[in-house]
């Protein structure tokens, strides 16, 4: 079927309204305002900037710890401390600590390791921050569309020329329903991909232009719960990071517990998506984490109010893709702008957006959006604090390749050698290649149920993520070769998708004596773990109808 699409022309199209996309839009609007005030040519207008966001409202797909290093925001909005609406910056960090957990004991580090020191930072609600920034962007005249997803890239030759948004009103079989509305063809001089981790358009672009860095990007998955706890359990602004249990020593990961105002606690577990055991269940590990006496003491008797899961890029400087091509830039998590050692990407995402905006402004003035012109983005990054920060931990994540203890030793060495350590650059492969086959190992069939008070099964947690999708639409988790699931994958790895998905999307079921993969796509919280961790790379996460997905209010 050929579909007639409405065409819209813009100067700049930004896909993704997270900290990076909104930082880019706001900085560009500031530059255009200064440009027009001084009467420079060509005349530029903020109305020619479009921002697309797949969530049903601004901030609904934002999930982070979230302790923010305010550097990026301060550069974008000097004096933000007084202008941010109440509750956006929940509380300044008042104290920080690091612990090593064994099953029953929490051993406090005598001093907090420098990357985990958080004085001067803020505990925030990222979704509230994004809502606020989005409002500021809209006030400048920029067109911001929520519930619209970029589904495919438009190319003119090798150059990116815009994006086609998803078709709305298509049924499960791919047929148009009564409310069918074709996606728009949004053409732009510069397209900015700010889709967060493992963006679906970013993936298309990276494959087409072979943009990968020295190392492939590796990711971690963060599973988070927000709790309201009885008074006096944790001071607002107290920030704790934990290592050790429930992660085994051959894995990368750890936990966080952040005290917020009004007896609210952000807690969660980060799991490096390169573990060996294909039956490892990150959601179950997070539930066990809460049973540690240290954590239990804080949350017991409280109430879980929100749940979420999301991946983030953890590879660092050597995994960053080339961030510019003809007509397009990659920013924020999509471009790998995250300091995994500090677990900080909000401020860096904003800063990458600002540098992209300055690059785009020059391109619009020059009437040239070629890769050569846009390559000044990379030069700007190299001259900024982003490079300084990422260079100092360029071998950090890789050094955990052989387990926690060797990783800690290498990290210590890297801190004394400006990030160099023993091997520089430290090369690693993608996470999905590091599974060990099951061979004779016992196959897990019983799944974690939880006690319903402190710990929960996955469906209860998904309920608390506010996730909702239109049921009658094509499955947005596209499995290229389903035969592999019931055959090779069952035999070799025991279907890891049943275990790694923190939202119970994937199930292996028996029907009429046949084993097959059942996909509960409407549970999907858009964490992208399946796209990252499927051992055969046959799962492709594509955008569902705009407006679907989690609702991370207050996260």
Ligand X SMILES: Cc1cc2nc3c(=O)[nH]c(=O)nc-3n(C[C@H](O)[C@H](O)[C@H](O)COP(=O)(O)OP(=O)(O)OC[C@H]3O[C@@H](n4cnc5c(N)ncnc54)[C@H](O)[C@@H]3O)c2cc1C
- Residues forming contacts to ligand X in the complex (CB under 6 A) are 15-21, 52-55, 61-68, 126, 149-150, 194-196, 199-201, 222, 224, 268, 310, 312, 332-333, 338, 343-347, 349, 543
Q: In this complex, which beta carbon is closest to ligand X, that of residue 238 or of residue 493? A: 238
CB of 346 to ligand X, least distance (A): 3
How many angstroms separate the CA atoms of 553 and 555, rounded?
6
Question: Are 35 and 44 in contact, with CB atoms under 8 Å apart?
Answer: yes
Parallel, antiparallel or unpaired: strands 122-123 and 67-68: antiparallel
Distance of CA 271 to the CA centre of its chain: 13
- Nearest CB to ligand X, comparing residues 54 and 306: 54
Contact between 180 and 474 under an 8 Å Cβ cutoff? The reply is no
Q: Give the CA angle between residues 138, 144, 149 to the nearest 5°.
A: 160
Least distance to ligand X, CB of residue 78, Å? 19
Our CB check for ligand X shows the closer of 438 and 530 to be 530
What is the torsion angle, in degrees rounded to the nearest 10, for the CA atoms of residue 455, residue 458, residue 462 and residue 463?
-60
Please, what is the minimum distance in Å from the beta carbon of residue 316 to ligand X? Answer: 13
User: Taking the complex as a whole, how short is the minimal distance between the CB of residue 161 and ligand X, in angstroms?
Assistant: 16
User: Min. distance of Cβ 215 from ligand X in angstroms?
Assistant: 18
Provide the minimum distance between the beta carbon of 311 and ligand X in the complex, in angstroms, as a whole number.
Answer: 6
Rounded to whole angstroms, the Cα distance separating 280 from 156 reads 44
- Indicate the residue among 160 and 517 with the shorter CB distance to ligand X: 160
Q: Which is nearer to ligand X, 65 or 327 (CB)?
A: 65
C-alpha distances in angstroms, 333 versus 146, 243, 245, 362, 394? 19, 24, 28, 23, 16
Specify the residue, 23 or 494, whose C-beta has the smaller distance to ligand X: 23
CB-based contact 293:454 (threshold 8 Å): no
Taking the complex as a whole, the smallest distance from the CB of residue 218 to ligand X amounts, in Å, to 14
Q: Which is nearer to ligand X, 222 or 244 (CB)?
A: 222
In the complex, least distance from residue 527 CB atom to ligand X, rounded to whole angstroms:
8
User: How many other CB atoms are there within 10 angstroms of residue 83's CB atom?
Assistant: 11
φ, ψ dihedrals at 83, nearest 5°? -90, -20
Question: How many residues are listed for the chain in this entry?
Answer: 555
The minimum distance between CB 155 and ligand X, in angstroms, equals 16
HEC per residue, 247-296: CCCCCCEEEEEEECCCCEEEEEEEEECCCCCCCCCHHHHHHHHCCCHHHH
> Which spans in 278-345 are helix H?
282-289, 293-299
User: How far apart, in whole angstroms, are the C-alpha atoms of residue 339 and residue 226?
Assistant: 23
Nearer of residues 209 and 420 to ligand X, judged by Cβ: 209
Indicate the residue among 495 and 529 with the shorter CB distance to ligand X.
Answer: 529
């Amino acid at each position: 079927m050929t579909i007639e699409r409405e065409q819209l022309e813009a100067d700049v199209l930004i896909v993704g309204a997270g900290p990076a996309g909104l930082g880019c839009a706001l900085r560009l609007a500031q530059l255009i305002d200064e440009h027009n005030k001084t009467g420079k040519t060509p005349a530029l207008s903020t109305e020619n900037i479009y921002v697309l966001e797949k969530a049903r409202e601004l901030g609904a797909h934002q999930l982070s710890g979230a302790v923010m290093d305010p550097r990026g925001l301060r550069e974008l909005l000097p004096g933000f401390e007084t202008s941010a609406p109440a509750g956006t910056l929940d509380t300044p960090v008042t104290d920080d600590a690091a612990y090593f957990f064994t099953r029953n004991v929490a051993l406090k580090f005598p001093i907090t390791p420098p990357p985990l020191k958080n004085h001067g930072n803020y505990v925030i609600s990222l979704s509230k921050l994004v809502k606020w920034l989005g409002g500021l962007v809209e006030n400048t005249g920029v067109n911001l569309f929520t519930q619209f997803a970029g589904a495919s890239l438009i190319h003119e030759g090798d150059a990116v020329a815009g994006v086609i948004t998803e078709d709305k009103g298509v049924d499960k079989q791919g047929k148009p329903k009564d409310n069918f509305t074709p996606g728009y063809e949004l053409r732009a001089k510069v397209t900015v991909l700010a889709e967060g981790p493992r963006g679906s358009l970013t993936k298309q672009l990276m494959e087409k232009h072979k943009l990968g860095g020295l190392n492939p990007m590796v990711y971690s998955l963060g599973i988070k719960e927000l709790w309201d706890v009885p008074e006096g359990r944790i001071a607002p602004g107290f920030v704790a990071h934990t290592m050790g249990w429930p992660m085994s020593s051959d894995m990368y990961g750890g936990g966080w517990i952040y005290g917020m105002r009004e007896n609210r606690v952000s807690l969660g577990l980060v799991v490096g998506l390169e573990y060996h055991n294909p039956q490892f269940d990150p959601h179950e590990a997070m539930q066990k984490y809460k049973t540690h006496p240290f954590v239990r003491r804080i949350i017991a008797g409280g109430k879980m109010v929100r749940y979420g899961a999301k991946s983030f890029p953890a590879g660092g400087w050597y995994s960053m893709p080339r961030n510019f091509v003809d007509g397009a830039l990659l920013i924020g998590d999509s471009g790998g702008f995250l300091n995994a050692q500090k677990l900080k990407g909000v401020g860096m995402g904003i800063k990458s957006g600002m540098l992209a905006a300055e690059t785009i402004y020059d391109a619009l003035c020059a009437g040239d959006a070629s890769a050569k012109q846009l390559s000044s983005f990379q030069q700007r990054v190299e001259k900024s604090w982003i490079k300084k920060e990422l260079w100092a931990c360029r071998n950090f994540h890789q050094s955990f390749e052989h387990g926690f203890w060797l990783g800690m030793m290498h990290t210590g060495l890297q801190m004394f050698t400006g990030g160099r350590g023993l091997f520089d650059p430290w090369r690693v492969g993608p996470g999905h290649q590091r599974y060990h086959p099951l061979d004779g190992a016992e196959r897990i069939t019983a799944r974690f149920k939880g006690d319903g008070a402190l710990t929960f099964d996955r469906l209860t947690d998904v309920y608390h993520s506010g996730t909702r999708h239109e049921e009658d639409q094509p499955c947005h988790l596209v499995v290229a070769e389903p035969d592999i699931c019931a055959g090779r994958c069952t035999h070799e790895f025991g279907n890891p998708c049943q275990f790694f998905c923190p939202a119970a999307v994937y199930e292996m079921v028996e029907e009429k004596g046949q084993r097959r993969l059942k996909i509960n796509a409407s549970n999907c919280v858009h964490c992208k773990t399946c796209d990252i961790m499927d051992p055969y790379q046959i799962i492709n996460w594509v955008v569902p109808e705009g407006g679907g997905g989690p609702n991370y209010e207050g996260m």
